[in-house]
């Protein structure tokens, strides 16, 4: 009788320890929204300007939590500064706008010294997209330019 009680107590304590140490997954409000599929979790959308003369990149980043960050990159480092947060509906609209353009023209890679870009990285499904264009209006970059203008209209500097 005494051994059964000790065994039961041991099992209860062991179960509490195991379940309390199990990794917990927390979803952001954006991830809980209906518009963002699970395989989009962890995405990062970046857009901005590349100057190949000075080897610098300036722009913005949007993550799956809805944060818009300022991006500054040079040869030595990549730096992000959080600007503000947008709501889930805006994030999904922006992401869908970009993905619709990717379906039309999947790759734009134009050469130049001063370039404009939009990059999307979705690590959950191993998807990367990179559109880079120069100052000349080409048919291939036309849709991406409109997406870029929409992205820039969402940026509010402090």
CATH of the domain at 90: 3.30.1560
Instruction: Say if 69 falls within a structural domain.
Output: yes
Q: Which of 153, 154, 157, 123 is nearest to 44 (CA)?
A: 123
Contacting residues for 93 by C-beta, under 8 A, at least 6 apart: none
Q: What is the pLDDT of residue 3?
A: 62
DSSP letter (8 states) at residue 76: S
| Per-residue pLDDT at 33 | 60
Count of CB atoms within 10 A of residue 143's CB? 18
| 16 belongs to a structural domain | no
In a domain, 158, yes or no: no
Is residue 9 included in any domain, yes or no? no
The answer to whether residue 18 is domain-embedded is no
Look at residue 15 and tell me if it is in a domain: no
Range of the domain at 46: 29-153
Instruction: Supply the angle between the helices 88-104 and 142-153 in degrees, to the nearest 10.
Output: 170
- Percentages helix, strand, coil for the chain (3-state, rounded to 5) are 35, 30, 30
DSSP state of 73: E
DSSP string, 2-52: HHHHHHHHHHHHHHHHHHHHS------HHHHSTTS-GGGTT-EEEEEEEET
**Residue 23 belongs to some domain of the structure:** no
User: Residue 119 forms beta bridges with which residues?
Assistant: 46, 130
Is residue 12, in this structure, part of any structural domain at all? no
43-90 pLDDT, tens per residue? 999 999 999 999 999 999 999 889 999 999 988 898 989 898 998 888
Average pLDDT taken over every residue of the chain? 83
Give me 24's structure tokens: 């917990």
Number of domains the chain contains:
1
pTM listed for this prediction:
0.76
CB 108 within 8 A of CB 144: yes
């Amino acid at each position: 009788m005494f051994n059964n009680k000790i065994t039961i107590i041991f099992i209860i304590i062991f179960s509490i320890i195991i379940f309390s140490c199990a990794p917990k997954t927390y979803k952001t409000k954006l991830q809980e929204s209906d518009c963002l599929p699970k395989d989009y979790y962890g995405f990062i959308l970046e857009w901005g300007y590349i100057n190949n003369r000075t080897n610098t990149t300036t722009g913005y980043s949007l993550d799956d939590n809805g944060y818009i960050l300022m991006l500054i990159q040079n040869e030595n480092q990549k730096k992000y500064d959080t600007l503000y947060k947008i709501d889930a509906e805006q994030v999904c609209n922006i992401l869908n706008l970009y993905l619709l353009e990717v379906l039309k023209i999947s790759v734009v890679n134009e050469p130049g010294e001063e370039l404009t870009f939009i990059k999307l990285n979705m690590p959950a499904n191993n998807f990367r997209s990179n559109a880079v264009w120069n100052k000349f209006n080409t048919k291939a970059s036309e849709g991406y330019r409109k997406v870029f203008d929409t992205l820039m209209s969402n940026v509010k500097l402090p």
